[in-house]
Amino acid sequence: MSLFYFVAFLSIFFSLMVIITKNPVHSVLYLVITFFTFTVHYVLLNAQFLAVVNFIVYMGAIMVLFLFVLMLLNLNKETEPMKSVLIKVIGAVAGMCLLVTVAGSIRAMEVSDPLILKNPDIGLVSSLGKVLFNEFLLPFEISSLLLLTAMVGAVLLAKKEQKSI
Amino acid sequence: MEAATNSTPVDYLPILLQMLVAVGFGVTTIIGTHLIGPKLRTENKLSSFESGIEVIGNARQPVSIKYFMVAILFVIFDVEVIFMYPWAVNFRSLGMEGLIEMFIFMGLLLLGFIYVIKKRALEWD
């Protein structure tokens, strides 16, 4: 239990560092560390497939994509948008709304009974595979269509068409 | 049934230790070289090394979108490979049916790959 609190503290600390730090590249690197602490959470919950997916796809691939997007942007000082007073006021109002929502939800919160899983092995890779290839076969095959759509969309958006064809 | 797949979070302790050793080695090496090595800071030494050519501008130049193409295609195929882990673990119990199911999945993504190749999206013109 104390391990959970330690890892939860690390998660909150590094996710705060993501928004506090000024350098966007450092921000992305802190986000990687935050995702790593999430992986530790998944392992502690015995959700091992999620842990592996989080480690490989989120930490490995998607964060690299984030870095690429940062490189695509022009981050020179002179191109930074002017932070006008209006934007600051809107930001303050939005932050206050979020604060009120969080405070209200904490007031309404109550501790529920701990949920005990009937089968503690439910998050393992093999038990997930048994479910995925029997009951959830159709969503699995449709997800390949989703990936295909993403691929075609990416090519369509990023590839310049030749004029001669 | 219950003995075969009985793995707990404690099983991940060796992986955590290995990561700690790897990160610890890197961090101690960096800190150690800073402590041991001599400190001579001149303007030429602190400028970034570009194979002897004078530095022009800074590193904050927007890169080509082609790098992004490669990265996003990598992510998509990474997700495909992720789906193969639960399939590979259950390969024997799923049998022929599972093989066909996976081939449909992979075939659809292969169509996307053929589309990418035909569109010459990965070519560096």
pLDDT digits (tens, 9 = 90+) for B87-122: 888 888 888 888 998 899 999 999 989 998 888 877
Spatial distance between the Cα atoms of A35 and A11, rounded to a whole number of angstroms: 8
Q: Which of A6-20, A75-89, B37-51, B99-113 has the lowest mean pLDDT?
A: A75-89
Rounded to the nearest 10°, the torsion over CA B59, B26, A32, B86 is 130
Are B85 and A49 within 8 A, CB to CB?
Answer: yes
The residues, ordered by sequence, that sit 6+ positions from A76 with a Cβ below 8 Å of its Cβ are B58, B60
Residue A82's pLDDT band, with cuts at 50, 70 and 90, is low
- Output the CATH code of domain A1-74: 1.20.120.1200
Asked if residue A118 has pLDDT above 90, the reply is no
Q: Number of A:B CB contacts under 8 A?
A: 140
What top-level class would CATH report for the domain B9-118? mainly alpha
Which positions of chain B have pLDDT values less than 50? 1-5
Residue linked to tokens 């958006």: A157
> Within 10 Å of residue A80's Cβ, how many Cβ atoms?
9
Shortest CB distance from B69 goes to which of A40, A62, A158? A158
Q: What pLDDT, on the 0 to 100 scale, is given for residue A119?
A: 74
The beta-strand segments (E) located in B1-120 are none
A56 touches chain B (CB under 8 A): yes
- Is the CB of B71 inside 8 Å of chain A's CB atoms? yes
Contact A57 B9 (CB under 8 A): no
The B residues from 75 to 104 touching A (CB cutoff 8 Å) are 75-76, 78-80, 82-83, 85-87, 89-90, 93-94, 97-98, 101, 104
Determine, for residues A144 and B108 on separate chains, whether the beta-carbon distance falls below 8 Å: yes
A62 vs A44: CA distance, rounded Å: 23
A20-29's contacts with Cβ under 8 Å and 24+ in sequence apart are A24/A70, A24/A75, A25/A67, A25/A70, A28/A63, A28/A66, A28/A67, A28/A70
Residues of chain B found within 8 Å of residue A132, distances taken between Cβ atoms: 83, 86-87
CA distance B19 to chain A (A): 11
Indicate yes or no: CB of A141 within 8 angstroms of CB of B62. no
CA distance B7 to A154: 39
Q: Are B25 and A140 in contact (CB under 8 A)?
A: no
Burial class (CB in 10 A: 0-12, 13-18, 19+), A51: buried
Q: What dihedral do alpha carbons A39, B80, A119, A117 form, nearest 10°?
A: 50
**Are A128 and B88 spatial neighbours (Cβ–Cβ below 8 Å)?**
no
Query: Best interface-test mutation with B: which of A42, A55, A147 has the largest number of B CBs within 10 A?
Result: A147
The answer to whether the Cβ–Cβ distance between B85 and A52 falls below 8 Å is: yes
Distance, in Å, from the CA atom of A153 to the CA atom of B65, rounded to the nearest integer, reads 14
Residues of B in contact with A51 (CB under 8 A): 12
- Mean pLDDT, residues A98-124: 83
At A85, list the tokens: 């007073």
Q: pLDDT tier at A78 (50, 70, 90 boundaries)? A: low
Q: State both tokens at A16.
A: 């705060």
pTM (predicted TM-score): 0.75
pLDDT grade for A75, boundaries at 50, 70 and 90: low
For residue B38, give the 3-state DSSP assignment. coil
Residue whose tokens read 């969309």: A153
Q: What is the pLDDT of residue A103?
A: 94
**CA of B89: which chain A residue's CA is closest?**
A126
The answer to whether residue A157 scores a pLDDT higher than 70 is yes
Average pLDDT on A112-137 reads: 80
CB A48, CB A123: distance < 8 Å? yes
Using a CB-CB distance cutoff of 8 angstroms, which residues of chain A are in contact with residue B65?
A: 72, 158
